Every structure is written in structure tokens, then in C-alpha cells.
């Protein structure tokens, strides 16, 4: 009988951390099929090192460089067949940017998965309203896959009675694909970020700080069309957060949306 190869190394971590990692890989990572690797990419070296330590790994980071030789980020390459197999079992696939759709994420861990998605390909923004001077917040999730964002929006609506809007950004060049953006406004953002960035949880520090600032911001109105869960949000302090118009230059100018699509429309 021939000698059998080495047994694959096990992969174990806390469940909430696994689902956070799954959200990261779904947005800012990839799977490599021929070597059964999972890769997480970030410009923040310290963040990846902390994630590596949290996962109980000792892998070195792989530095990514541009064609001019300057560093553009880092890869954490996880060589664990058990992790690769579990990620593919929930619906993740190699080369998933355009094909990713609904994943098999338990309701109890969807908040951890979504935190990974936000840390990977999300954006939390704050600005001052140009006319009423009030502090505004929003967060967005970006993806080239409409079904993936539809699933996230529908799941957030089902679990937390919170509604967002899905936009499509048309490509400026003919050889580019459309980008989809799932956006939540102030009260909906506050509600969802409260669920995702709970105390003691692992997260990208700069987005944790933004999330905590959003969560701590007083509510500026007494009703909402985007958060149906009135028992939850009505407990927050209601105040007018008026600021002078001298700060109204802090506008959210990142929007370039040209088409709106609904959660329940045809793909």
C-alpha cells in the first residue's frame, strides 16, 4: 500500500468570527480552487495581523505591489482545506464577484456576516444636511452582483424590519460592468449598525469608530419610513441636532446613481 499524504490541518474559531470572515471573503477576498485557499485582502496591515491572531493562525502576510513597485495592500492567505470546504458549502465560489448570490447564513449569525461585508466593501459616511443643518448618516454596500445585494436587503428587512434602497451605477466605459449599491439612510443605518457592531466584537477599527459615532447620534425626527421596528427605535433620544450652516460644506457628494431598482424587482 502506498503512503497516504499528510492529514489536512483543522480549522477552528468562534462561530461569530467565522461568519465575519465569511462576509469579508464574500466582498474583499477570494477562494482559490486548485490549492483550496481562502484569501482576505486589505490595505491595513495591522488589521490583517490582528485578524490572523484572532483566527489562531501564524501565516505571514503577502504584500501586494503595483507595477511601479509600491505597496497597494496585503493578503492574508489561509491554507486550510477545512475552511475552504466550509466556505464553499455555504455558497461561496472562486471567481465570485459577478456570480455571488444568496448564501446559507444562519439568522443568528447574519449580523456578524454583514459586519464582515461592511468592513470589506461597505462605506459609513457622515455629513451635514445643506438646508436644515442636521447631522446625517448613511452606509452603503457595493457589489457587482445584484442578487447578492437583494438577498442582503431582504434578509435585513426580514430580521430587523429595516428597509434600504438598491441603486445601479451605470459604467462610464463600454467594457465595464454595472455596479450596484445598497444604501441605508440615517435611522436605518443606526438600527442595522447597532445590530452588527455590538460590544466586544472584532471589526475593522476605523469602521467600528464610525459605526459607534452613528449609533450614538441622537435621532432627529419622531417617525421613520425605513425602520418598521418602532419598539426598537422609539427608545432612542429624540432631539433636533441642528448645526449652523457654516459646516454645510460637508456634503455627501459620492453619489453617482442613475437608476433605482427595488428589492423585489426582476433580476
Q: What is the pLDDT of residues 198-214, one digit of tens each?
A: 999 999 999 999 999 99
98-267 matches 12-96 in CATH topology: yes
CA-based nearest residue to 15, from 84, 118, 86, 75? 86
The answer regarding whether domain 98-267 maps to CATH 3.10.28.10 reads yes
Mean pLDDT of the chain: 80
* pLDDT band of 243, cuts 50, 70, 90: very low
pLDDT at 157 over 60: yes
pLDDT at 218 over 80: no
| Choice between 177 and 29, residue whose per-residue pLDDT is larger | 29
pLDDT value at residue 263: 47
Rounded CA gap, 23 and 89, in Å?
14
pLDDT value at residue 69: 59
| Choice between 239 and 182, residue whose per-residue pLDDT is larger | 182
Q: What is the pLDDT of residues 144-155, one digit of tens each?
A: 999 999 999 999
Q: Give mean pLDDT, residues 231-249.
A: 40
* CATH class, range 12-96: alpha beta
* pLDDT band of 229, cuts 50, 70, 90: low
Rounded CA gap, 102 and 257, in Å?
24
- Torsion angle of the four alpha carbons 141, 171, 40, 110, in this order, in degrees rounded to the nearest 10: 30
pLDDT at 239 over 50: no
Q: Give mean pLDDT, residues 57-66.
A: 84
Q: Give mean pLDDT, residues 112-139.
A: 86
- Cα–Cα separations (whole angstroms), residue 185 to 29, 89, 116, 165: 27, 33, 20, 9
Range among 42-51, 64-73, 238-247 with highest mean pLDDT value: 42-51
Please state the domain extents for the chain. Answer: 12-96, 98-267
* pLDDT band of 240, cuts 50, 70, 90: very low
* pTM (global) more than 0.75: yes
Amino acid at each position: 500500500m502506498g503512503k497516504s499524504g499528510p492529514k489536512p490541518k483543522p480549522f477552528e474559531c468562534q462561530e461569530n468570527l467565522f461568519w465575519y470572515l465569511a462576509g469579508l471573503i464574500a466582498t474583499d477576498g477570494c477562494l482559490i480552487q486548485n490549492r483550496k485557499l481562502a484569501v482576505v485582502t486589505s490595505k491595513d496591515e495591522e488589521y490583517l495581523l490582528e485578524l490572523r491572531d484572532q483566527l489562531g493562525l501564524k501565516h505571514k502576510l503577502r504584500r501586494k505591489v503595483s507595477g511601479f513597485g509600491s505597496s497597494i495592500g496585503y493578503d492574508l492567505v489561509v491554507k486550510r482545506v477545512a475552511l475552504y470546504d466550509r466556505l464553499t458549502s455555504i455558497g461561496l465560489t472562486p471567481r465570485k464577484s459577478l456570480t455571488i448570490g444568496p448564501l446559507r447564513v444562519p439568522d443568528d449569525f447574519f449580523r456578524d456576516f454583514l459586519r464582515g461585508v461592511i468592513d470589506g466593501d461597505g462605506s459609513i459616511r457622515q455629513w451635514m444636511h445643506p438646508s436644515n443643518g442636521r447631522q446625517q448618516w448613511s452606509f452603503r454596500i457595493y457589489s457587482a452582483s445584484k442578487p447578492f445585494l437583494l438577498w442582503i436587503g431582504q434578509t435585513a428587512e426580514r430580521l430587523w424590519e429595516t428597509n434600504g434602497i438598491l441603486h445601479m451605477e451605470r459604467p462610464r466605459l463600454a467594457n465595464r460592468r454595472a455596479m450596484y449599491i445598497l444604501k441605508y439612510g440615517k435611522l436605518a443605518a443606526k438600527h442595522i449598525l447597532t445590530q452588527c457592531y455590538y460590544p466586544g466584537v472584532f471589526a475593522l477599527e476605523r469602521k467600528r469608530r464610525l459605526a459607534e459615532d452613528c449609533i450614538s447620534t441622537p435621532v432627529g425626527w419622531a417617525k421613520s419610513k425605513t425602520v418598521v421596528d418602532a419598539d426598537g427605535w422609539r427608545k432612542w433620544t429624540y432631539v433636533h441636532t441642528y448645526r449652523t450652516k457654516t459646516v454645510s460644506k460637508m456634503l455627501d457628494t459620492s453619489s453617482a446613481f442613475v437608476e433605482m431598482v427595488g428589492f423585489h424587482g426582476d433580476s
